[in-house]
């Protein structure tokens, strides 16, 4: 019951911030060049309950399948072909192997032949990609709003905004190895230890950890031992500068709102061919902007490429998650229950993959 109540509270906060986003009106000054538009070249419908709150679900894919977690449908993980055909379901609500407590199934990630399913706050269930239960990683403390990345040594790196360190490292038995990371922003550390400072985590081809904050789009690259190698504050990018000024003015005039808000600049992120892709929505709900930043090795590219995403009907996307593979972007629009396929720019990515 407490979990369900917290979901409604978070939804209310999101509505407050949505009003702030709409009030911020126009694109940042100095952004005069036309933004290229990406339209989907294919789409298919899914048999999932429609939901505006896609962040509670998880999405990942391999060369053969999509995997979507659905806490609203009995904590099931549903495996689909790249054409949208349901292959199997697994997981479920319960206390047995591979099962989850009610409404707790969250994000998904893949490493090699294993699928890692985060249980909101408590643990990670590990499955073979055919749905067979492999193991359960019990986490030693409550960890909310997390994303995870798994390195080749099968260590699990988890975004832990409510803990002592922003990023924690665990083994497959749930043992904590070490934590690292810097708190982002100019406010006191205790204020920053909130869910909106969670990070999306990925490993690039050099084996370094790429982190992007969902609150500020702050990009960092860490060595696997936690040493900070490079960082870039995207809030000073010309696309975000004017918007952040308006956000700061809003919270300066309404200081009590800051600790209550779940402001989220980055709606979702993915890593493909050492390019960090993230979708942001800063000025108007009718615009869904895709930013692509190079994050190869221990470097962060200076130039960021910007694209405007459109849905199947030419409209904007709502309540979505996305994943990228083989030169393509795949977006799950949970409000319409569609998966959209986008060809990414051929100058940046290999053009192959599912149609």
CATH number of domain containing 118: 2.120.10.30
Look at residue 284 and tell me if it is in a domain.
yes
pLDDT tens digits along 295-324: 999 999 988 898 988 887 777 777 678 899
By C-alpha distance, which of 335, 329, 352 is closest to 38?
329
Kindly give the pairing relationship between strand 304-309 and strand 121-128.
Answer: unpaired
The dihedral through the CA atoms of 328, 333, 334, 337 has a sign that is negative
CA–CA distance, 311 with 314 (Å, rounded to integer): 5
Q: Which domain holds residue 31?
A: 2-343
Please list the rounded mean pLDDT of every run of 10 residues in the chain (355 residues): 41 41 40 78 80 69 88 86 90 88 83 88 86 86 73 90 85 88 71 73 96 90 96 84 78 71 78 93 66 96 88 73 89 83 86 45
Residue 126: beta bridge partners?
116, 135
Q: Which residues pair with 89 in a beta bridge?
A: 78
DSSP state of 58: E
Predicted confidence at residue 142, as pLDDT, reads 60
The per-residue pLDDT for 3 is: 43
pLDDT at 237: 82
Q: 3-state DSSP call for residue 166?
A: coil
Q: What is the DSSP string of 199-213?
A: EEEEE-TTSPEEEEE
What is the reported pLDDT for 329?
A: 92
Per DSSP (E only), the strands in 19-85 are 37-38, 42-45, 58-61, 65-70, 76-81
| pLDDT of 30 | 41
Q: What is the pTM of this model?
A: 0.84
Q: Which residues make Cβ contacts (< 8 Å) with residue 186, sequence separation at least 6?
A: none
Does residue 350 form part of some domain? Answer: no
174 within some domain: yes
Q: Say how many domains are in the chain.
A: 1
* Three-class secondary structure of residue 345 per DSSP: coil
| Residues written for the chain | 355
Q: Is residue 355 one of the residues assigned to a domain?
A: no
Rounded Cα–Cα distance for residues 333 and 340 (Å): 8
Q: Are 310 and 320 in contact (CB under 8 A)?
A: no
Q: How far apart are the C-alpha atoms of 247 and 251, rounded to whole Å?
A: 6
Q: What is the pLDDT of residue 177?
A: 92
- State the residue for tokens 């952004």: 31
User: Exposure string (b/e) for 139-160, b if CB count within 10 Å is 16 or more?
Assistant: beeebbbbbbbbeeeeebbbbb
Q: For residue 201, what pLDDT is reported?
A: 95
Contact indicator for 199, 166 with CB cutoff of 8 Å: yes
156 is a domain residue: yes
Measured from the Cβ of residue 106, the count of other Cβ atoms closer than 10 Å reads 24
Give which of 251, 339, 238, 254 is closest to 291, Cα–Cα. Answer: 238
């Amino acid at each position: 019951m407490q979990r369900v109540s917290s979901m409604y509270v978070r939804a209310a906060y999101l509505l407050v911030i949505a009003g702030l986003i709409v009030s911020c009106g126009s694109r940042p000054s100095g952004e005069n060049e036309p933004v290229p538009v990406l339209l989907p070249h294919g789409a298919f419908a899914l048999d999932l309950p429609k939901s505006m709150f896609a962040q509670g679900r998880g999405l990942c894919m391999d060369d053969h399948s999509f995997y979507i977690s659905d806490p609203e449908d009995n904590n099931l993980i549903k495996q689909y072909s790249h054409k949208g055909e349901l292959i199997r379901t697994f997981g479920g609500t319960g206390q047995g192997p591979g099962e989850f407590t009610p409404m707790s199934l969250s994000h998904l990630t893949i490493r090699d032949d294993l699928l890692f399913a985060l249980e909101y706050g408590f643990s990670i269930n590990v499955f073979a990609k055919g749905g067979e239960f492999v193991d359960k990683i019990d986490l030693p403390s409550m960890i909310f709003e997390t994303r995870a990345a798994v390195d080749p040594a099968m260590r699990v790196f988890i975004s832990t905004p409510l803990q002592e360190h922003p990023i924690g490292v665990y083994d497959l038995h749930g043992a904590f190895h070490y934590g690292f990371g810097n708190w982002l922003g100019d406010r006191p550390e205790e204020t920053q230890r909130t869910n909106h400072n969670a990070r999306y985590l990925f490993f690039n081809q050099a084996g370094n950890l790429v982190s992007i904050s969902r609150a500020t789009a702050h990009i960092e690259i860490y060595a696997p031992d936690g040493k900070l190698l490079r960082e870039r504050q995207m809030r000073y990018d010309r696309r975000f500068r004017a918007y952040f000024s308006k956000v700061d003015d809003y919270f300066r005039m309404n200081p009590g709102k800051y600790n209550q808000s779940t402001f989220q600049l980055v709606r979702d992120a993915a890593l493909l061919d050492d390019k960090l892709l993230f979708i942001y929505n800063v000025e108007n709900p009718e615009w869904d902007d895709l930013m692509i930043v190079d994050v190869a090795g221990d470097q962060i590219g200076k130039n960021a490429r910007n694209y405007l995403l459109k849905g199947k009907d030419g409209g904007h996307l709502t309540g979505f998650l996305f994943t990228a593979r083989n030169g393509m972007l795949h977006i799950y629009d949970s409000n319409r229950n569609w998966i959209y396929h986008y060809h990414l720019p051929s100058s940046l990515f290999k053009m192959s993959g599912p149609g």
